Structure 1
């Protein structure tokens, strides 16, 4: 198999050198070139035909977002954003994912050999994953607000919804929720996302979909009409408070290398809600986080949905569910909301 050809785009010579060294040291990856700004990158893409691009946001002559938008419209290709992950910068990175970037990684604060090793491992994994991911050409339709499907009266809800996602998940979740009406069952979501992103992600969704969308916090009530997004650095678990169910944030160790972990949320929900009164959904993502727990839910009476391969950016987590025979339905992304609406009334 041919090596993955990577073009690095960053205005910092130090970052370009570091990324080159990390990627060149990995088997199966070749850095075919670097560029200090998007205009140079545009020419090098034509010359070198890379498989994957790493892209900074803040650059001279043209910012990374404008360049990404042009790229995804004219020559769609896998892009991994390498940027400073701050709360202030979160909306920009989320916008990059909305435009079509596959994934993102924080520019490293290299203060130890362990930190460099962790960054290197993540970068290599993300570049290899991006090379095999499905790229979405940029269309104006990504801003279209879909009409939610009709739902029975709230009294007819028989099941709550728990949903997991990772790579490609921010846009997949948005696509699902855009088809869900304001009067919906409780929807609980774990998306693999940094702590500085989860609040911005919830706020962006809350502004564009009909249900209320909130970032999880200790004591937040789980109730109809509310979508809760797991906090970026805490597992999402639950407790009963009389007749009310509330969120509990857990800083326990990562599970399947993730915190928040889909596995943890899927297991935790049965402490406050019978499995027979749940719908579990697995959307696009790399790895297997949540698949084993979804199998346990399925065996206990939970109705389950997995996103299909053709509509997934990365068919890892849904594939694991399918291979474990834990999915009642395997459907395209645009059909997930309809299945949720049907299943919550069964």
Structure 2
């Protein structure tokens, strides 16, 4: 039985969330709280498996409370977000602080949906599998030699990154060491497409390079990092010596659209040995076979280690296939990536 605590300042929303979860045989709502103070006491008393957290609350806001949770008592948190632009920005920051995933209260039009088709329950089940290991502090360890070499003459390099659960937080740690002139970098992060623009802006604040959403047939240039916009399109790479982004509709691959496997397979085909592939924290196996394809094409391949993963699913799958030449903690991966890209 998965024990869930609901924290939301709206009595109506608490009732709706409780109704949706109470219908599930494997989920038990052990309590509800109207604010951070009540939530803190209930977390101490019941030690829930998963917390749903409204981050737009009076008093101590949800972001400050989330930061305290992740610092003092790391617990899987599902952020419950409104439909406003401000809400999207706050949700992106919450994911960067360590929230496992986000759940939208309403659809794009702002209307509250009466039936979410079990989405919240599935997010709860995934979050319950998260085990927080050592949380590595974000500290500036820019490798000067690697940064200088990133702009050295030679064949154009391409960096491809895949991540899922816990990925926004991991990407912040990884990208903070990327220099302003980093090789073109493409990222597939599993996320609700509604939050992708805000996540791109959040990551842009964490790095000297420019982070933006990939657009169809967009040329990939040095100093730029391109995030898949999500939705019903896969992000792949085309070109030869000069690369460009391709956004194409397609069926799920490894259960996902966009898929890390789709990105990595395309990079293996067009960039081959001129690429570096990185697979970060995430549930499932998306990206494992694609990373193997990159390795077989001569690319350098890196996977995040178990100790620093929020969920050691995708990296574990890649390692078990022999796809990762390097396995490293998140705070060391930028160093490896930039050296391999030189």
- Cα 1:276/1:73, change in 2 over 3 Å: closer
Worse-matched range after superposition: 182-191 or 70-79: 70-79
Structure 1 segment 169-248 matched on structure 2, within 5 A: 169-233=167-231, 234-240=233-239, 244-248=242-246
Quote the residue 1:18 is aligned against: 16
SS in 2 for 1:150: helix
Task: Judge conservation of contact 1:198–1:232 (CA < 8 Å) in 2.
Answer: yes
Deviations 1:271-329 (A, max 9, x none): 432x2222111001111111112122222222211000001111111111011111111
Specify the alignment match of 1:83 in structure 2. 81
2:328 is the counterpart of 1:331: yes
Among 153, 156, 167, which residue is 2:165 paired with?
A: 167
Q: Secondary structure at the match of 2:177?
A: coil
SS in 2 for 1:239: strand
Cα offset, 1:22, TM superposition: 3.6
Once residues 135 and 106 of structure 1 are traced to their aligned partners in structure 2, the CA distance between those partners, rounded to angstroms, is 29
Contact 2:301 2:325 in 1 (8 A): yes
SS in 1 for 2:129: helix
Contact 1:195–1:231 under 8 Å retained in 2: yes
Match in the other structure for 1:309: 306
Distance 2:195 2:140 in 1: 22
User: Secondary structure at 1:222's aligned position in 2?
Assistant: coil
Residue equivalent to 2:319? 322
CA distance in 2, matches of 1:147, 1:78: 30
**Deviation digits for residues 203-245 of structure 1, max 9, x if unmatched?**
23223312222210123211222211111223212333x9632
Residues 1:112 and 1:197: Cα distance change in structure 2 (over 3 Å): closer
State the TM-score, normalized to the length of structure 2. 0.87
1:51-66 aligned within 5 A: 51-66=49-64
Q: Distance in 1 between matches of 2:25 and 2:165?
A: 23
Mean CA deviation greater in 283-292 or 261-270: 261-270
SS in 1 for 2:308: coil
Query: Are 1:147 and 2:142 counterparts?
Result: yes
- Alpha carbons 1:219, 1:246 under 8 Å: kept: yes
- Looking at structure 2, the residues matched to 107 and 134 of structure 1 have their Cα atoms a distance apart, in angstroms, of 30
Match of 2:125 in 1: 125
Structure 2 unaligned spans of 5+: none
Cα distance between partner residues in 2 of 1:108 and 1:200: 17
In the superposition, relative to structure 1, how do residues 308 and 40 fare at CA in structure 2: closer, same or farther (>3 Å)? same
Q: Supply the distance in 2 between the matched residues of 1:297 and 1:119 (Cα, whole angstroms).
A: 33
Distance 2:290 2:67 in 1: 38
Change (3 A) 1:74 1:272: closer
Residue 298 of structure 1: aligned partner: 295
CA distance in 2, matches of 1:246, 1:226: 12
Cα contact 2:5–2:48 (8 A) shared by 1: yes
C-alpha separation in 2, matches of 1:99 and 1:126:
18
User: Which one of 46, 49, 54 corresponds to residue 47 of structure 2?
Assistant: 49
Please state how far the C-alpha of 1:164 moved relative to its aligned partner: 0.3
1:340 aligns with 2:337: yes
State TM-score, norm by structure 1: 0.87
Cα deviation per residue 1:169-213 (whole Å; 9 max; x = unaligned)? 112112111112222222111111222222222223223312222
May I ask how many residue pairs the two structures share in their alignment?
A: 335
Q: Does structure 2 retain, via aligned residues, the 8 Å contact 1:178–1:208?
A: yes
